[in-house]
């Protein structure tokens, strides 16, 4: 009893302390941001752009460059007479290394003075400012240590190991990975190497040290990595990139070291690093968390280079964002082999569904080919989830076996969200939803590239008040411009119908608008589908990279996006005005029946 009380008191005290610290930290932050703002304003007029600086260096206008390790802001002194202070300007560079690579030759030739400070305080800061600006950092660190201690998070995890000495198996085999035959074929030699390294080494064969697996989450990257370890019968040491990123400098790097030390002791083995982009993203700027990141990445590079290829350690890493990775990771002797793990195609989906239904009781009429057709774009993880949801639905409905309808429901639940039968919907909302959904369905019927409507409903699901489901019967790699434009028209059909029939618009279209805007933006900035902007990619890492397209680039993209959406909306309106009778009929049928099937919908067009 009394110990319980003590415990409670402790907790209260902890809470009180945390509250105090939070308050102090907030106050400090406010003070610091005030100083930061002041400094920013003072600095602003003396800043020059990166590109301008490069030009100035090439034109011999620079006398001296001051850099501080770990800071991406450098101070340059221009040639000329007068106080040195007056001739100084600050420039933000993407990274010190990249900058130096760019100007090194010129610097050597012209004898531009380079001052490199190891660490320290930005030269523009005055001491008083410095203390204030560091206050929140200090307080935050103290706060974090407190929280850290309280939650007992201090422990150092350096890699989960599946299968130690006593049981060297992940238990996963290639047969547990459905589809992906080509990819498995490519990886089989790794298994063979791990099983029998001597044969390869004697032959002088070079086996890749590192293999990168590219692919969306849930496509089976971890699974296939485990299967390699399982097939080879070697330990599987795994860690996620995000686990390396630590609040405290240096910890990430030391974790990498420990991970490899451990692997060396267990070799032959597999190291699996999930989400490698968390540590391996391009070393752009070098401030704060980024520089911690760099240390971790550098350590990883050191380790990769450090172990010999006869050490029989294979490092597999997975990422969803290959374009983010630092190029240094992809050099020979590191992750020099890359394998793309795609989302499954029709056959793959059927196989995955079959595999995951093995331990489930299914009705005889379940046709996996059909469900594979309905689930284009689903990943392996999503398909596994479909069957799991179907089993839950079947159990809840007290079915003997999982029925076709249960799986259909599960697919719907995952695509549009759970049915909300008990949500109270007013008559007015129902009417609005009916017209909105009828609008989507009718408009898409008149668009060449849009797939057939599978179901229209005004039963709320997830966050949506209703939904229009389309058939997905084709796996496609490329989407044409027309198709994208028409997709936007179909999306705008909902709002257009609200406006035409009820002379009112609602928030119900927010998601449609969001998706349509995304399509329009991608068309212009990624797919180069704009006549005025041209076929250039405007997808950049840092906004300053867009400067080369001129000041107006942002305006232009904005205007073009707006134009595309306006056009889509007008087209949708035109179609609906022309076929107003069908729109009304479909909306009325929805109000009556709540859900219309594919066949019922087709009837309106006979
Ligand atoms: P990733 O690492 O690519 O995010 P995972 O390997 O963690 O994906 O996949 C999650 C789950 O999805 C797996 O545990 C498995 O149940 C299922 N899965 C994914 N792809 C496949 C596949 N090709 N065959 C069988 N199951 C799969
Ligand atoms: Zn809609």
**Counting ligands in written order, which one lies closest to the CA of residue 435?**
2
Rounded to whole angstroms, the Cα distance separating 453 from 561 reads 27
Q: Where are the alpha helices (DSSP H) in 89-196?
A: 96-110, 127-150, 181-195
Average pLDDT for 242-248: 68
State the pLDDT at residue 155: 41
Ligand 1 atom closest to the Cα of residue 224 is 6
Closest CA to 393 of 382, 378, 384, 404: 404
Q: Which of the two residues, 168 and 603, has the higher pLDDT score?
A: 603
Peptide linkage before 268 cis (omega within 30 of 0): yes
177 and 222 in contact (C-beta within 8 Å)?
no
pTM of the model: 0.60
> What number of other Cβ atoms are within 10 A of residue 92's Cβ?
17
Which residues crowd ion ligand 2, with CB under 5 Å? 494, 512
State the pLDDT at residue 154: 39
State the pLDDT at residue 459: 84
Distance 357 CA to ligand 1 centre (A): 14
Is the per-residue pLDDT at 98 higher than 80? Answer: no
Distance 320 CA to ligand 2 centre (A): 29
Distance 466 CA to ligand 2 centre (A): 8
Is the per-residue pLDDT at 132 higher than 90? Answer: no
Residue ID of nearest Cα to ligand 1 atom 12: 381
Contacts 24+ apart (CB under 8 A), 12-15: 14/150
Closest CA to 393 of 364, 372, 414: 414
Site of tokens 């006979």: 606
Q: Which of the two residues, 606 and 491, has the higher pLDDT score?
A: 491
State the pLDDT at residue 298: 86
State the pLDDT at residue 521: 94
3-class secondary structure, 141: helix
> What number of other Cβ atoms are within 10 A of residue 222's Cβ?
20
Q: What is the pLDDT of residues 22-72, one digit of tens each?
A: 777 777 777 767 666 665 555 444 566 777 788 888 888 888 888 777 677
Average pLDDT for 412-440: 82
Average pLDDT for 220-246: 88
Site of tokens 């703002």: 37
At residue 494 the predicted structure's pLDDT band, cuts being 50, 70 and 90, is very high
How crowded is the C-beta side of 491, counted as CA atoms within 13 Å?
23
Average pLDDT for 409-421: 77
To test the pocket of ligand 1, the residue of 212, 380, 383, 386 to mutate (highest count of ligand atoms within 8 Å of its CB) is: 380
Q: Catalytic site residues?
A: 437
Contacts 24+ apart (CB under 8 A), 545-549: 547/49, 547/51
Please state, in angstroms and as integers, the Cα–Cα distance from residue 236 to each residue in 126, 257, 283, 313, following that order.
52, 17, 29, 10
State the pLDDT at residue 493: 97
State the pLDDT at residue 89: 82
Mean pLDDT of the chain: 81
Q: Which of the two residues, 125 and 434, has the higher pLDDT score?
A: 434
Q: Reading across the β-sheet that carries 210-214, which strands appear in turn?
A: 160-162, 236-240, 269-274, 313-319, 210-214, 337-340
Ligand 1 atom closest to the Cα of residue 344 is 23
To test the pocket of ligand 1, the residue of 379, 384, 387, 389 to mutate (highest count of ligand atoms within 8 Å of its CB) is: 384
At residue 516 the predicted structure's pLDDT band, cuts being 50, 70 and 90, is very high
Q: Which of the two residues, 76 and 563, has the higher pLDDT score?
A: 563
Q: What is the pLDDT of residues 467-476, one digit of tens each?
A: 888 877 566 7
Average pLDDT for 509-527: 93
- Residues in the chain, how many? 606
To test the pocket of ligand 1, the residue of 239, 381, 382, 388 to mutate (highest count of ligand atoms within 8 Å of its CB) is: 381
Rounded to whole angstroms, the Cα distance separating 283 from 294 reads 6
At residue 420 the predicted structure's pLDDT band, cuts being 50, 70 and 90, is low
Q: What is the pLDDT of residues 303-328, one digit of tens each?
A: 888 877 667 899 999 998 877 788 88
456's tokens: 């229209």
**Counting ligands in written order, which one lies closest to the CA of residue 356?**
1
State the pLDDT at residue 120: 40
Peptide linkage before 591 cis (omega within 30 of 0): no
Cβ contacts of residue 38 below 8 Å, gap of 6+?
none
State the pLDDT at residue 287: 47
Give percent of the chain above pLDDT 70. 79
State the pLDDT at residue 434: 95
Distance 487 CA to ligand 2 centre (A): 12
Distance 418 CA to ligand 2 centre (A): 17
Give percent of the chain above pLDDT 90. 33
Among 132-141, 262-271, 355-364, 440-449, the least confident range: 132-141
State the pLDDT at residue 165: 37
Distance 508 CA to ligand 2 centre (A): 7
Is the per-residue pLDDT at 133 higher than 70? Answer: no
Average pLDDT for 361-377: 86
Is the per-residue pLDDT at 249 higher than 80? Answer: no
How crowded is the C-beta side of 131, counted as CA atoms within 13 Å?
2
Ligand 1 shell residues, CB under 6 Å: 177-180, 215, 217-223, 318, 352, 355, 380-381, 384
Residue ID of nearest Cα to ligand 1 atom 17: 381
At residue 150 the predicted structure's pLDDT band, cuts being 50, 70 and 90, is very low
171's tokens: 């238990």
């Amino acid at each position: 009893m009394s110990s319980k009380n003590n415990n409670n008191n402790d907790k209260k005290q902890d809470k009180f302390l945390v509250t105090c610290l939070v308050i102090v930290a907030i106050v400090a932050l406010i003070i610091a941001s005030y100083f930061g703002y002041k400094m920013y304003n003072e600095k602003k007029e003396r800043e020059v752009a990166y590109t301008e600086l490069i030009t100035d260096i090439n034109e011999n206008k620079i006398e001296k460059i001051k850099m501080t390790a770990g800071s991406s802001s450098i101070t340059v002194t221009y040639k000329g007479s007068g106080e040195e202070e007056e001739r100084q300007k600050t420039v933000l560079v993407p990274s010190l290394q990249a900058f130096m690579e760019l100007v090194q030759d010129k610097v050597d030739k012209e004898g531009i003075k380079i001052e490199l400070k190891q660490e320290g305080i930005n030269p523009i800061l005055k001491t008083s400012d410095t203390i204030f600006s560091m206050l929140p950092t200090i307080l935050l660190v103290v706060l974090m240590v407190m929280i850290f201690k309280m939650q007992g998070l201090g422990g150092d995890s350096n890699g989960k190991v599946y299968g130690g000495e006593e049981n060297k198996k992940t238990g996963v085999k290639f047969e547990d990975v459905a589809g992906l035959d080509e990819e498995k074929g490519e990886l089989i030699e790794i298994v063979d190497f791990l099983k029998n390294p001597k044969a390869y080494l004697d032959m002088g064969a070079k086996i890749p040290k590192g293999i990168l697996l590219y692919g969306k989450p849930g496509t089976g990257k971890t699974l296939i990595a485990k299967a390699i370890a399982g097939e080879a019968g070697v330990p599987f040491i795994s860690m996620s990139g995000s686990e390396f990123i630590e609040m405290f400098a240096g910890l990430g790097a030391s974790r990498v070291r420990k991970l490899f030390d451990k692997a060396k002791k267990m070799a032959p083995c597999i190291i699996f690093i999930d989400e490698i982009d968390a540590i391996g993203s391009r070393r752009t700027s070098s401030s704060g968390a980024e520089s911690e990141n760099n240390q971790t990445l550098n350590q990883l590079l050191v380790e990769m280079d450090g172990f010999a290829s006869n050490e029989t350690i294979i490092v597999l890493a997975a990422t969803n964002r290959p374009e983010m990775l630092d190029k240094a990771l992809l050099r020979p002797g590191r992750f020099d082999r890359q394998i793309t793990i795609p989302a499954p195609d029709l056959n793959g989906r059927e196989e995955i569904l079959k595999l995951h239904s093995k331990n489930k009781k299914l009705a005889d009429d379940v046709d996996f080919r059909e469900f594979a057709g309905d689930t284009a774009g689903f990943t392996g993880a999503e398909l596994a989830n479909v069957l799991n949801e179907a089993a839950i639905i079947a159990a809840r409905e007290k079915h003997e076996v999982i029925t076709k309808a249960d799986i259909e429901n599960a697919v719907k639940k995952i695509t549009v969200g759970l049915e909300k039968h008990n949500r109270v919907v007013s008559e007015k909302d129902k009417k609005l939803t009916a017209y909105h959904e009828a609008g989507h369905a009718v408009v898409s019927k008149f668009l060449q590239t849009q797939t057939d409507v599978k179901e229209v409903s005004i039963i709320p699901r997830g966050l949506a008040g209703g939904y229009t489901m389309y058939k997905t019967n084709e796996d496609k790699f490329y989407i044409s411009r027309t198709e994208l434009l028409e997709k936007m028209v179909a999306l705008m059909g909902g709002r257009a119908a609200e406006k035409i029939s009820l002379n009112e618009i609602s928030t119900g279209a927010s998601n449609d608008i969001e998706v349509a805007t995304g399509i329009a933006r991608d068309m212009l900035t990624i797919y180069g589908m704009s006549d005025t902007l041209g076929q250039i990619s405007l997808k950049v890492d840092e906004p300053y990279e867009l400067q080369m397209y001129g000041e107006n680039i942002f305006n232009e993209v904005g205007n073009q996006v707006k134009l595309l959406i306006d056009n889509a909306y007008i087209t949708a309106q035109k179609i609906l005005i022309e076929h107003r009778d069908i729109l009304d009929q479909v909306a009325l049928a929805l109000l009556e029946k709540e859900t219309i099937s594919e066949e019922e919908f087709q009837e309106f067009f006979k």
